[in-house]
Amino acid sequence: MTAKKVTLEDKFAQFSDHWAPRIVARYNDNEIRLVKVGGEFIWHCHEDTDELFLILDGTLDMEFRDRTEVLEAGELIVIPRGVEHRPCARHGEVKLLLIDPKDMPNTGDQKSATLAIDI
């Protein structure tokens, strides 16, 4: 296997749909995913793993049942396992980088998840 660089801008240019993660790299048992988001996602939680969101472009509201954290480009948040949350992009499209365990559904539940695909 060979190490290859990934240019995030080039990868983002390959898709336009929202809330549909794209896998751009893998390491150990993790996937590096890019996603474009717009509007509100669903309330959900991940019972077995933490979730990392790195905001690359735009403003993301991360809602919790008791508060909202506003995240700007260059900021990240780690959602602890079992914590219900809802990401929202109310001010235009947001570009995110996610680091998730291999094959983790983006909603924490395979039945409601959008399958992450390799690009």
**φ/ψ of residue 4, rounded to 5:** -135, 140
Alpha helix positions (H), the chain: 8-12
The pLDDT of residue 112 is 53
β strands within the chain, DSSP E: 22-27, 30-40, 51-57, 59-64, 67-72, 76-79, 86-101, 117-118
The pLDDT of residue 3 is 86
State the pTM of this model: 0.86
The pLDDT of residue 46 is 85
Report the chain (119 residues): mean pLDDT per 10 consecutive residues: 90 95 93 95 88 96 97 97 95 95 60 66
The pLDDT of residue 48 is 87
| Domains defined along the chain, listed by start | 8-101 (2.60.120.10)
